[in-house]
Amino acid sequence: IQVHGLAVQMGFDYDVVTGSAIVDMYAKCKKLDESLHFFHEMPEKNWVSWSAVIAGCVQNDELMGGLELFKEMQKEGVEASQSIYASVFRSCAGLAVLRLGS
């Protein structure tokens, strides 16, 4: 993905704003493994970073992964935003539907 390569060349890849955008981009391109890898490599994360990776998990049907990241975020002491709660609720609802269907 050329955007990521350009960010690396310019030295912005680990800037929290650019890093969060890269996490979001990979998730939206259905490249969740790359999104998660990049997220875990980021030296600094904020609520936007966490929101991007949690939403990415939910968008890619990795519902438990999104919830696990939410728990990790809480342990890190990051305060959840409305968008994070929305992703967590979607994840819980999806898991409830799966449980009802089995």
Scan for tokens 């890898």, then name that residue.
Answer: 37
pLDDT of residue 37: 94
pLDDT of residue 12: 57
Q: Give Cα separations from 37 to 31, 32, 97 (angstroms).
A: 10, 8, 29
Q: Give Cα separations from 97 to 4, 38, 64 (angstroms).
A: 36, 30, 13
For residue 45, give the DSSP letter: -
pLDDT of residue 97: 76
Domain range for 89 is 2-101
Number of domain units in the chain: 1
- Rounded mean pLDDT of the chain? 89
User: Model confidence over 40-83: pLDDT tens digits?
Assistant: 999 999 999 999 999 999 999 999 999 999 999 999 999 999 99
